[in-house]
Amino acid sequence: MIERSLFTEEHEIWRASVRRFVEAEIVPYHAKWEEEGIVPRDLWLKAGAQGLLCCTVPEEYGGLGLDYLFDVVVFEELWRVGASGPGFLIHTDLVATYILSFGTDAQKREWLPRMVKGEAIGSLGMTEPHAGSDLKAIRTQARRDGDDYVINGQKVFISNGQLCNVIVLATKTDSGAGASGVTLFLVESNRPGFTRGRNLEKLGMKAQDTSELFFEDVRIPASNMLGPAGKGFALMMTKLPQERLAQAIRSATVTETVIEWTADYTAGRKAFGQTIADFQNTQYVLADLKARATMARVFTDKCIELFLNDKLDAVDAAMAKLVTSELHCEAVDKCLQLFGGWGYMWEYPICRAYADARVVKIAGGSVEVMKTIIARDMFKGRLPARSPRG
């Protein structure tokens, strides 16, 4: 077996402590949160108190200043038990990262200490009802008015949408300018004119709040701008490899997990006088998945290593997300099959894992967009340049 070599003893001690937290504070309650469609705010405070949120935030902004692998451990331990409800990944890996990378000192001081503690929850507002993959087509408008901007528009599918206190919002400050008209803002959820829409009903990830957000004449000071005007699209592009890497980590972890669950289950379940695991079909299905899960893990770990050295590019990240998310969906399907009818029952984790999985081929850049990125790179110099995307 190829051993993972990324993590030090310190990371493993951290893993044990995160695992204890997840087993005590999340696993026993997750089914109830799925019924409620949301996790309690209290969980965020507990997670913050244990240091599980935004591990890389430097000490001067209230964090622990740890390396990215500490965040990776938190994500892996959540996925390992199928805890798809707590939206820590969006909060830590996207919102805090955007503020850390593009924010002013004042913005960092305002938000990061509270985000580390779980007192303020972040969400990322990009997608709109008519614009998802094609982000430069967003219509939410931010119009300059004296020292302020006035925001009008609508977002959809926003993770942490019901809970969020701050939104990294993609807007258009120049509606005629395409990608170069996109500007990011930090918008507080207590601004007049901001309202949350429905907590959307989803196929899976039922404990995670995913919402519409509405902005009607929401007035914010110009100092809430995140990064320069008109540079929002370019800034978002710089963060896409990290977002896709996080998705690959999710898929690699869930794939390994469901294979283990299925090996355990089939070794105990009997049919025709033998265990399900005795059937050659079961062994072949699981062996095939295991071999590919191992390759997915090795490639994903390599991408983590590249990321730690500031060398992960968009194409490698796209390849990681493409292959791991497709394998993830295939694995939950094939593993559920080996559970028979029990696999179709919500009380079985494989059933939830199946429902949770489908989104990985859509969100954070669909598999088609990943293929487009890879193909564009392959055909660079071979075919005439087309309009840029993703």
Contacts to ligand FAD by CB under 6 A: 90, 123-127, 132-133, 157-159, 202, 205, 210, 359, 362-364, 366, 368-369, 372, 389
| Minimum gap (Å) between residue 236 Cβ and ligand FAD | 10
| Minimum gap (Å) between residue 344 Cβ and ligand FAD | 22
Closer residue to ligand FAD (CB): 243 or 301: 243
Closer residue to ligand FAD (CB): 35 or 201: 201
The Cα 237–Cα 239 span in angstroms is 5
Closer residue to ligand FAD (CB): 51 or 132: 132
The answer to whether 34 is a known catalytic residue is no
| Minimum gap (Å) between residue 200 Cβ and ligand FAD | 8
The Cα 31–Cα 26 span in angstroms is 9
Closer residue to ligand FAD (CB): 241 or 364: 364
Active-site entry in 128, 212, 243, 256: 243
The Cα 115–Cα 103 span in angstroms is 14
Closer residue to ligand FAD (CB): 13 or 375: 375
| Minimum gap (Å) between residue 374 Cβ and ligand FAD | 12
- Dihedral sign computed on CA atoms, order 170, 176, 181, 186: negative
Q: Which residue is nearest to ligand FAD (CB)?
A: 132
Closer residue to ligand FAD (CB): 157 or 339: 157
Contact 76, 247 (CB under 8 A): no
| Minimum gap (Å) between residue 272 Cβ and ligand FAD | 40
| Minimum gap (Å) between residue 159 Cβ and ligand FAD | 3
Contact 108, 70 (CB under 8 A): no
Q: Provide the annotated active-site residues.
A: 243
